[in-house]
Amino acid sequence: MKTRKLSRKQVLKRTLLPLYRLLDYFLRLKTSRIVWRLLTLTSLVLFMSVGSFLAYIEQPSLVDQDKIPALIRIAQPEQTVEWLTYSDQVMQAVDEAGIVVGKNDLLSLPADQNLIPGQSYDLTITRRGEFTFLWSGLAVNAVSEPIESVDLMARSGFDLIDLSDGSRVEQPTADTLAYIAVDKKEFRISEVIAYSIAYENDPELEVGKTAIATPGQNGSRDLIFEDTYENGIFISREQVGTEVMLEPVQEVIHKGTKVIIKAIDRRKVGATVLNSFDQIKPLLKPNGRLNYNSFTDNGDGTLTVDGKSFSYTSVMRRRITMFDGLEVCIHAGDHNPPINHNTSSGVPAQRGLVATYGNRIDGKVYPTLPMGTIVFIENYGLGVIADIHGVSSNKDLLDACYDPGELMSGAFPVFSAYRDTYIIYTPQ
């Protein structure tokens, strides 16, 4: 418990009051002059003693009332502050000086260290920040004084990580290092490789017939993808290659090229020719000497006429001549007035019908191309074998028919030339 503080006046009054009373007593006794002098001298001595006593009793009073400050020197990265304080502990003095200490800052003295009045203290505050290390999605916190990125990498050990597999270290913020583990996995998708088909001419097989020489077989292959995962999370997929697991087997089909010459069957020839003619007649487009507007050999066993594709079994360069039924009648003088003649098949002569050579044996006619065969003649167009000519010197010659009177009218010049001829269909 602290002593009650007395003022100098109070102490003096309490000390001298007995002396005043004693002096008054002697004065009343009217003592001698010697006694009076003695008393006066005694009073002076006592007065001087009282002054010394007051100085003595006043010094403990200041100590008890904490009137002597302590000096604390606070060193920070920003500045150094000297502070006189009556606080009892280090942290109280720091707060009193208005200095903010972060939760991670380091003090060189204990925060609760007592301060002794009149003593000096040196306190160093080391600023420290909190760093976050992310490892494959796992967060670890650490505390350290501010350091450069390079030092942070070195002290964290992240600079020792093997990144050859594509993994990486990033610093998204100044106080965060993140190790991103990159994992690449192979992923495959199987698909069928369709077999191709190749056609080969077979001179031992009849025209219009086919036979599978080698059956086709589908193959298979794997599409190889690389899946990328970052910290176990799927990011992307990229195709990096293919691998054939089973090679396909090409199918080989033989196409007959052997022409079997059969005699004309008078009972069936008309129906056979009309059946073929019905297939091409809607496609005929009279264009002067031509029956079409455009034609292309596709080079793959097909040709395209006015946008419609046809497969052909053979192609041969033949001599082509021209006729029409009315012109034939006029030159032969068979009728007067002349009429449009019928073809050997019984179908009236017209555009789209073609005559082939017929070999006569024992009263039977064996045409070079079977009646009803559908052909395409370059610079003429689609046609059906429906008639017989007698040019024995060129049994491959074909005579292309036009509508009655077209050649006589002179609408286009009559020609005789070699042209590519395609066999599109041969009746069985």
pLDDT reported for residue 297 = 97
What digits encode the pLDDT tens for the residues 285-318?
Answer: 999 999 999 999 999 999 999 999 999 989 999 9
Rounded to 10°, the helix 8-29/33-64 angle is: 170
Sheet containing strand 197-206, edge to edge, reads 197-206, 251-258, 210-214
pLDDT reported for residue 6 = 54
Query: Which two tokens mark 309?
Result: 């594709």
Query: How far is it, in rounded angstroms, from Cα 384 to Cα 402?
Result: 12
Query: pLDDT over 90 for what percent of the chain?
Result: 48
Bridge partners for 324 per DSSP: 402
Query: How far is it, in rounded angstroms, from Cα 47 to Cα 342?
Result: 175
Peptide bond into 77 cis (omega under 30): no
Highest-confidence segment of 32-36, 172-176, 347-351: 347-351
Query: For residue 272, what are the CA distances in angstroms to 277, 289, 347, 370, 371?
Result: 9, 26, 11, 10, 7
Q: Report residue 403's pLDDT band, with 50, 70 and 90 as the boundaries.
A: very high
Helix (H) or strand (E) holding 200: strand 197-206
